[in-house]
């Protein structure tokens, strides 16, 4: 590990991307490399998520509200612990919640969700860098299959396609923080040390606006 590069890494790093792309695994590796805490989404604590995967139309609203209140509590804890005085990596953005709400909720549910969101007044600190992982739907489906989580067995390629498109649109207009857009379908920074080191070097560089990391596996391995 390049200790000099690690010292230059952004203070607050967020890893984002669709289900199955490898966000949490990468965050765990980054936290270890940077010797810093991580802030994880903890989706397994949402009691409505399994029902959502079985019947999205019926369970989308309580699922989104649970995630919204969970985000609010996590933000309060961060402010109390003053973690932003030191480095932190996370596998979700606070304002990502609205992406899923707009994708899954009916208009009347979305209006109520937006009202609750506004009353919570979630003033989240901006990341110093967002690492946006992209991968084709077939890659996402294969990785979801390999990790074999019971609640994800009902996920369909159509839903992942719509989710991936929503992420693409979200980050196309996102300008609040620098974004490193990574072609995660061509590399595996979780299982390949060479791939991880290559990505880590990119993350530790200075970032402005949007940058793309689209490595060739042949060039890395």
pLDDT in tens, 44-64: 899 999 899 889 889 999 999
Three-state secondary structure of 103-168: HHCCHHHHHHHHHHHHHHCCCCCCCCEEEEEECCHHHHHHHHHHHCCHHHCCCCHHHHHHHHHHHH
pLDDT digits (tens, 9 = 90+) for 70-125: 988 888 777 766 655 578 999 998 888 889 999 999 999 999 999 998 888 667 78
Predicted TM-score (pTM) above 0.85: yes
Pairing mode, if any, of strands 38-39 and 12-16?
Answer: unpaired
CB 203 within 8 A of CB 180: yes
pLDDT at 220: 39
| Least confident range of 9-18, 71-80, 103-112, 155-164 | 71-80
Query: Nearest CA to 186 among 218, 208, 158, 142?
Result: 218
Residue 3 has pLDDT above 70, yes or no: no
Residue 141 has pLDDT above 60, yes or no: yes
- Please state the rounded mean pLDDT for residues 20-37: 93
Rounded CA-CA distance 9/189 in Å is: 17
Percent of the chain's residues with pLDDT above 70: 91
Please report which confidence band the pLDDT of residue 218 belongs to, taking 50, 70 and 90 as the band edges: very low
CB 160 within 8 A of CB 21: no
Please report which confidence band the pLDDT of residue 188 belongs to, taking 50, 70 and 90 as the band edges: confident
Task: Catalogue all structural domains in the chain, each as residue range(s) with its CATH number.
Answer: 3-220 (3.40.50.300)
pLDDT at 76: 79
Please give the backbone phi and psi of residue 144, each rounded to the nearest 5 degrees, phi first.
-65, -40
pLDDT at 150: 80
Residue 34 has pLDDT above 50, yes or no: yes
DSSP code for 189: T
Residue 181 has pLDDT above 60, yes or no: yes
DSSP code for 41: -
Look up residue 196 and give its two tokens: 């991880």
CB 199 within 8 A of CB 173: no
CB 212 within 8 A of CB 181: yes
């Amino acid at each position: 590990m390049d200790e000099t590069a690690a010292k230059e890494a952004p203070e607050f790093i967020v890893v984002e991307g669709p289900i199955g792309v490898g966000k949490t695994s990468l965050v765990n590796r980054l936290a270890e490399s940077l010797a810093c805490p991580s802030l994880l989404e903890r989706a397994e604590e949402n009691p409505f998520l399994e029902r959502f995967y079985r019947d999205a139309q019926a369970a989308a609203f309580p699922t989104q509200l649970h995630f919204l209140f969970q985000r609010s509590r996590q933000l309060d804890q961060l402010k109390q612990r003053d973690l932003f005085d030191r480095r932190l990596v996370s596998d979700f953005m606070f304002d990502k919640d609205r992406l899923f709400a707009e994708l899954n909720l009916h208009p009347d549910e979305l209006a109520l969700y937006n009202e609750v969101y506004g009353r919570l007044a979630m003033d989240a600190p901006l990341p110093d860098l967002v690492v946006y992982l992209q991968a084709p739907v077939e890659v996402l489906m294969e990785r979801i299959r390999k990790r074999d989580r019971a609640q994800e067995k009902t996920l369909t390629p159509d839903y992942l396609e719509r989710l991936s498109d929503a992420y693409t649109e979200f980050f196309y207009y996102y300008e609040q923080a620098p974004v490193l857009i990574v072609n995660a379908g061509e590399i595996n920074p979780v299982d390949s040390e060479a791939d991880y080191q290559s990505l880590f070097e990119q993350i530790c560089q200075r970032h402005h606006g949007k940058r793309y990391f689209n490595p060739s596996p042949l060039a890395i391995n």
